Amino acid sequence: MSLRIKLVVENFVRDLKAALEADMQDRIMKEREMKSYLEEREREVAEREAAWKAELGRREAEILKQEARLKMERENLEKEKSVLMGTASNQDQQDGALEITVSGEKYRCLRFSKAKK
């Protein structure tokens, strides 16, 4: 009988070792799969982040271009305003003429009338 008990115990221990080994192998495989999945997700996130940063860089560059263009347009407008506004002057001539200087050319207007609506 003790031989029989010994054989049952040995079978139980052998089956238990095999089950533990199978469980360990399963855990190792799951861990590898999880690690592989996480690496893939990290790569995908890094790619999306790089694409987002590149797009952000392009947008920032476009904004800088537009700001420079607007600054130039504003400067041109100010120049035009100074040419148009700063060159007309009433010289209060004896004849009441208005002298206007545009691009270095002087013009005299002797008669004025109201604009018709």
Domain residue limits, the chain: 2-86, 88-117
Residue 96: name the closest of 78, 106, 82, 111 by CA: 111
pLDDT at 29: 97
The pTM (predicted TM-score) of the whole model is 0.46
pLDDT at 81: 75
pLDDT along the chain (117 residues), means of 10: 88 94 96 96 97 96 96 89 60 64 71 62
pLDDT at 61: 95
pLDDT at 99: 73
List strand residue ranges (DSSP E) for the chain, in order. Answer: 88-89, 98-102, 105-109
Residues ≥6 apart with Cβ < 8 Å to 117: none
Residues ≥6 apart with Cβ < 8 Å to 102: 83, 84, 87
Alpha-carbon distance values, 99 to 2, 81, 87, 93 (Å) = 132, 18, 9, 9
